[in-house]
Chains A and B, each alone.
Chain A
């Protein structure tokens, strides 16, 4: 007997796996749970090629994998999840592929908004897009802004999707904004104080940090990268100063709860050392 295209046995299996995961989660929760986990979703196209799927099916599979990972993070009590969906460097790819990704994003956003499949809203997830959104086409920009507004009130988990994002671009933007703000402050100060003290511009770390696109979330505790590559690829360079970097050889659509479990266990192992360091600083 099928309902919504999902068989009864599949539903039963899912419920069983949820129960099993609850058991694992309650054991893990005895120790510290990371606040923020970031994912570099690498390997979608290779996944499609390996399984002889159509072009673009890899990204669909990747989207599904992300949904599951967000759900597992919700179960684990992880409050912030960030996913590297599309880099500014990815605009270098073929226009067809770029368009396919943009179309997929718009399609999924519309599904979410139209309540056909609004899983994120049901899960209480607030979605935020980080990146240079001005680089996107108008329809994509509009869809993205609509989704951010629609989910703004949710508070269980903050899912930040890095779209048209690179860390260097984020830092350039933050520096621009900081300089603008400092110059504006300087102008305000200089008027009554026209003795010309030759004030130096004082820029602090906090000034730059508050202008980052990623200022909505704390620094990540773990960055997980799939498909065997061991590099950051211009993702969260600033924020990754003291977080664990974990690489898995599996491709992104093949990621599972076990990988997250492994990452959290590694985090728990290093946690007390990190806390000691943070207190010292």
Chain B
């Protein structure tokens, strides 16, 4: 009864990429988690790859050239028919990554952007339709002003520099969140980028900036209340699909993520996409976001493909 072998294997909450001897200690040493052994692969700029693989868009669908490319590129063990359509990511751990290396938080965020570029490229190659990333939460406004200003300027710079690549690469960008708090120049840039890329179909990249899941539902409620006040709808008509249409994720055909990945060993959702996560498979990763690469993504997808999704019903 006193045996510590009960170190309860938390099945899917922390999934280790390689089988490691699980510590029997109840309180794991914080530094032990972030032990060395991470591989930092420098992601190639994906626009070079995309130039080599032209995507012809015919009738809004990619031609077989792009499809063949994505089938070929699928790593062993992953089945094409079981790939998720919508993957969501909480990009956590940039600050900690920088602190571990004695660098300022800004270096962590820059490294995070590189990781994101790699992720976008992988999603393009593997046929994932929508990728939603949690870039900046409504709660992050309380961070030091220096960091917040840096983050917003980093976001602006990244958008400007990647704009052409996205346009050529067939990537559609959508930004969700309370944009009223963002600087005007950024708001303008966002509108331009969204407008310019709205016809693209290879991948939809949804970036959540100044976003809160609760706020999303509140603003949906507000617009429903306005419509009810104007007599456009009746109170009895309010149902789940009406709310779905009013949420900010109405910009996509697949608003519900199939898989949510959170890095840096934190086991929580942190006010991201609350309504939309109803049946999403959650995958928590030990690595910090700048260290999250192809290998970890493959692990996440492998775990996802092995899960049985029942949606409340029964399989047998």
Instruction: Tell me, in angstroms, the Cα distance from A90 to B310 when the chains sit together.
Output: 10
In the complex, chain B residues whose CB is within 8 Å of the CB of A180:
235
Q: Is the CB of B268 within 8 A of A262?
A: no
Residues of A within 8 A of B225 (CB): 178-179, 182-183, 201, 203
B-side contacts of A176, CB under 8 Å: 235, 238
Given contacts A203-B221, A228-B11, A248-B10, 4 further A-B pairs with CB under 8 A are A89-B313, A169-B240, A229-B12, A266-B267
Give the contacting residue for A241; candidates B214, B238, B240, B307; CB below 8 A.
B214
Listed A/B pairs (30) with beta-carbon separation below 8 Å:
A88-B312, A172-B238, A175-B224, A175-B243, A176-B235, A176-B238, A179-B235, A179-B238, A182-B229, A201-B222, A208-B218, A229-B307, A230-B11, A230-B307, A232-B279, A234-B278, A240-B268, A240-B269, A241-B269, A242-B271, A243-B268, A245-B267, A245-B268, A247-B10, A248-B9, A248-B10, A249-B11, A258-B8, A265-B27, A277-B139
Q: Which of B46-54, B60-68, B280-288 contacts A (4 or more CB under 8 A)?
A: B280-288
A interface residues, tally (CB under 8 Å):
59
B42 within 8 A of A: no
Inter-chain contacts of B312 with A (CB < 8 A): 87-90, 92-93, 233-234
User: Do A269 and B280 touch across chains, with their CB atoms under 8 A apart?
Assistant: no
| Minimum distance in angstroms from A27 CB to a CB of chain B | 12
CA distance A106 to B314 in the complex (A): 23
Q: How far is the CB of A219 from chain B (nearest CB, A)?
A: 11
Question: Assuming A172-B239, A204-B218, A262-B26, is B12 touching A167 (CB within 8 A)?
Answer: no
Q: Chain A residues near B311: list those with CB within 8 A.
A: 89, 92
User: What residues on A are CB-neighbors of B279 within 8 Å?
Assistant: 231-234
Inter-chain contact A175/B229, CB cutoff 8 Å: no
What's the Cα separation between A205 and B274 when bound, in Å?
A: 14
The 4 closest A-B pairs by CB, nearest first: A89-B312, A230-B12, A249-B11, A228-B11
Q: Would you call A246 an interface residue if the criterion is a C-beta within 8 Å of the partner chain's C-beta atoms?
A: yes
**Contact flag A232-B282 (CB < 8 Å), given A172-B243, A241-B269, A244-B267:** yes
Q: Decide yes or no whether A171 CB sits under 8 A from chain B.
A: yes
* Chain A interface residues toward B at CB < 8 A: 45, 87-90, 92-94, 97, 166-169, 171-172, 175-176, 178-180, 182-183, 186, 200-205, 208, 228-234, 237-238, 240-250, 258-259, 262, 265-266, 269, 277, 280-281
B270 interface hit (Cβ, 8 Å): yes
The complex places the Cα of A175 from the Cα of B221 at a distance, in Å, of: 6
Say yes or no: is B146 at the interface (Cβ < 8 Å to chain A).
no
Give B contacts to A, CB under 8 Å.
6, 8-13, 26-27, 139, 142, 213-215, 217-218, 220-222, 224-226, 228-229, 235, 238-240, 243, 267-271, 274-275, 277-284, 307, 311-314
A159 to chain B, nearest CB (A): 22
Q: Which of chain B's residues have a CB closer than 8 A to the CB of A167?
A: 275, 278
Closest partner residue, chain A, to B281 (CB atom): A231
Cross-interface CB contact of B268 among A89, A230, A244, A249, cutoff 8 Å: A244
In the assembled complex, the CB of A81 is this many whole angstroms from the nearest CB of chain B, namely 19
Given contacts A169-B240, A241-B274, contact A179 B221 (CB under 8 A): yes
Task: Collect the chain B residues with CB atoms within 8 Å of residue A265's CB.
Answer: 26-27
> Could you tell me if A94 and B11 are in contact, using CB atoms closer than 8 angstroms?
no
Q: Is the CB of B278 within 8 A of A237?
A: yes
Residue of B nearest to A180 (CB): B235
Residues from chain B with a CB closer than 8 A to the CB of A179 are 221, 224-225, 228, 235, 238
Instruction: Decide if A247 touches B13 in the complex (CB within 8 Å).
Output: yes
**How far is the CB of A95 from the nearest CB of chain B, in Å?**
12
